[in-house]
Structure 1
Amino acid sequence: MPEEIISKKTQSNLEILKKSCLIAGFYLAGGTGLALYLNHRLSVDLDFFSEKEFNSKPLLQKIKKLGKFSVAKESENTLAGVFNGTKIAFLAYDYPLLFPLKKLGNINVADIREIACMKISAISSRGSKKDFIDLYFICQQGISLKQALALFERKYRGIHYNMVHILKSLVFFDDADNEPLPKMLVPVTWKQVKKFFQEKVKMNQ
């Protein structure tokens, strides 16, 4: 795994988790999962998802044996906290995988199109600058925003959502405007990203 896309601390902690087999039943997604494909920005958090429900208590006991772990949230099917200085989360995510998982650096990683759907979902709740930037870079890989939205509808067809709200959220930048730009490895400006979504959403309305 290229060291430049994740911090040395995160890289070290990921190696510990890999060797312990703790993450064997999970797949990596989020910004770090995407960065493994695109090498577009530095990512420091580890977000692991499971297709199946899991008991967080045994998982908590196991991870505590591997290093220092401070709990931020612990409930059935959810465990989040800081492991040796790295923010980490384990979540049960019962929405269907549309595409097979990829093996990158001996880690199960969600397909880039899967991550696109998850980024749209995150933006519809409260879009962070990182989420907008990640979706922007996905859309530079031959996956149009229109295609990503169609995949989103397939992935989350079991829940009620308002596509008008989804489209509005893709051009609502008030919260993200106040956030710092993540450390980019591929140059981009926040102005470029906003202009892209404003133009593409207008075409989809």
Structure 2
Amino acid sequence: MSHNKSLLTSKQQEFLTFFNHYPDLYQNFYFSGGTALAEFYLQHRFSEDLDFFSLIEINPHEINLFLNSHKIEFSSPQIQFRQSFNRNLFFLTYTDNSKLKLEFTYYPFPQLEIPQQQDNLKIDSVFDIAVNKIFTLSQQARGRDYFDLYIIEQKYSFSFEKLIKKAREKFDYPIDYLQLGINFNQVDHYLDDPILLKKINHEEISVFFKKEAQKLKNKIVK
């Protein structure tokens, strides 16, 4: 895990410092998603949300109460709680009108690798984040996932075949190779999404995913 100059906003840093002080949070949740990926592994883009996952079932209303009762410790924002399917989202609005979105979600999928640790903060491994993103991309296309997976592959050389295999194992769910291939081939429609810090050739990303789509052809049952 490399860590250069922080890409986090002051509000993100402040909340992570708060998180780091409370066992109720750091013992039950680990930090994952795009912001963890960008901050601790790739340094390639800005990311707005802080995503925290738990392997044990949680009561989101208790988290809401906990955050509201301690919010003076992270600049006293207004906190709006919203549930979206199994996701627990917290929208923070500060007095300067800046915003921060948090997610505290039950994620009952055992990690494939031991998370990294910084102080009390457990950080999902880059391999687990990549596997999660492949699984997401097999169900829905999001621009940031193409960029993230491409740069992960360039830096860490994980084969997509291995990521797909591990996604099947981790989520105990069949991968729809046809849909994944379709989403790989639609890469050109999604290349205007994230705020990138590194110059990346869109044509190279497009060619990369279309080649990966070709490799999936023999996996598709006719």
Whether TM exceeds 0.5 here: the answer is yes
C-alpha distance in structure 1 between counterparts of 2:41 and 2:118, whole Å: 9
1:146 maps to 2:161:
yes
Deviation at 1:148, TM superposition (A): 1.4
Structure 1 residues 72 and 61, CA, compared in 2 at 3 Å: closer, same or farther? closer
C-alpha distance in structure 2 between counterparts of 1:150 and 1:38, whole Å: 23
1:202 maps to 2:214:
yes
Q: 2:52 aligns with which of 30, 41, 48?
A: 48
1:12 is aligned to: 14
Deviation at 1:76, TM superposition (A): 9.2
2:82 is aligned to: 73
1:59 is aligned to: 63
SS of aligned partner of 2:110:
coil
Amino acid in the other structure paired with 2:52: F
Q: Do 2:46 and 2:194's aligned partners in 1 also have CA atoms closer than 8 Å?
A: yes
Q: Show structure 1 runs of 5+ residues with no match.
A: none
C-alpha distance in structure 1 between counterparts of 2:169 and 2:195, whole Å: 32
Q: Show structure 2 runs of 5+ residues with no match.
A: 72-76, 218-222
Residues 23-59 of structure 1 show CA distances to partners (whole Å, capped at 9, x for unaligned) of 3111111101211112121222101111111111111
1:31 maps to 2:43:
no
Deviation at 1:159, TM superposition (A): 2.4
Amino acid in the other structure paired with 2:180: I
Query: Stretches of 4+ moved more than 3 A in 1?
Result: 1-4, 74-78
1:127 is aligned to: 141
Bigger radius of gyration among the two = 2
Q: Do 1:117 and 1:152's aligned partners in 2 also have CA atoms closer than 8 Å?
A: yes
2:220 is aligned to: none
Task: Between 141-150 and 160-169, report the one with greater CA deviation.
Answer: 160-169
C-alpha distance in structure 2 between counterparts of 1:196 and 1:174, whole Å: 11
2:100 is aligned to: 86
SS of aligned partner of 1:88:
strand
Tell me the TM-score normalized by structure 1: 0.86
C-alpha distance in structure 1 between counterparts of 2:80 and 2:136, whole Å: 23
Amino acid in the other structure paired with 2:32: A
Deviation at 1:105, TM superposition (A): 5.1
SS of aligned partner of 1:48:
strand
